[in-house]
Amino acid sequence: MKLDRDAIKRGVIDEMIRESQAAGFMEPRPEDERRELLEAALAAREAGAAVWVFGYGSLMWNPAFHYAEKRSGMIHGYHRSYCMWSPGGRGTPELPGLMLALDHGGACRGMAFRIAPEQVHEELDIIWSREMIGQAYEARWVPVKTQEGPVHALTFVINRDYIRYAGKVPRDVQAAHLATATGRMGSSMEYLENTVAHLDELGIGDGPMHDILKRARAYCSDPPQGRWENGKWRTTARKS
């Protein structure tokens, strides 16, 4: 399922969140809280400053909002990480997928998008409906270094208190879940392959992402014996 602008405006994500809530593995953020967080984010920007949004995952190639300008850029203090379990969108409760988020430490190259002043509220409404509908992310203003000069941008970092925060997942465990988990929005493998392909297309080098893709493909071609049990991947001995 493609998560485009029309789908977001139709409330597809709201519907998915409600289904996830009914299944007991996701809690939506109340609408009034979402609105307050959006207004607080806008109030926190520098007076008269342009509104930029920094994307590090699917926002880079599928922003689903209108923008006036985009630039490649780098932020410091956060890195791209598969640190969030996905028991619904790209996985199941029995075999959760993994989703990217920005976690603390390091640096991250991505894309910065400038929103035209007259479209700020409408476009941020769409972004908020995509990124802030659940409890997983916190909105942050971050300095972004670009070739054309520095900008301040809104981005979405992992909420480490979120129940699905995975922390630092071992690479072999990441590979197992990314290679096999599938949910309503598609497979975790598809998401990984799209991310790496678009990073390459945009000229954004990311060795760890290439490494995990290589591991996931190796898992697909020669899967080890194992199972997801009690919140951990348990590897068993291969049959002789």
Candidates 131, 138, 148, 201; catalytic one: 131
CATH number (domain holding residue 137): 3.10.490.10
Residue 110: the pLDDT is 96
Q: What is the mean pLDDT of the chain?
A: 88
Give the chain's domain count.
1
Active site residue 131: yes
What mean pLDDT is predicted for residues 152-174?
Answer: 94
| CB distance 57 to 209 below 8 Å | no
Within a domain: residue 181?
A: no
Nearest to 194 by CA among 177, 175, 209, 173: 209
DSSP conformational letter for 165: B
* Helix or strand run (H / E) with residue 193: helix 188-201
* pLDDT tens per residue, range 64-116: 999 999 999 999 999 999 999 988 888 988 889 999 999 999 999 999 999 99
Residue 142: the pLDDT is 97
- From first CA to last CA, the distance across the chain in angstroms is 40
Domain holding 147, by residue range, is 5-168
Within a domain: residue 140?
A: yes
Cβ-proximal residues to 220 (8 Å cutoff; 6+ apart), any chain? 179, 189
Percent of the chain, pLDDT > 70? 86
CA–CA separation, 86 vs 25, rounded Å? 9
Within a domain: residue 113?
A: yes
Within a domain: residue 210?
A: no
Within a domain: residue 198?
A: no
Within a domain: residue 200?
A: no
Q: Is pLDDT of 240 > 50?
A: no
Residue 14: the pLDDT is 67
Q: Is pLDDT of 206 > 60?
A: yes
pTM of the model: 0.85
Within a domain: residue 114?
A: yes
Q: Worst-scoring range by mean pLDDT, 47-51, 63-67, 236-240? A: 236-240
Residue 238: the pLDDT is 46
Within a domain: residue 231?
A: no
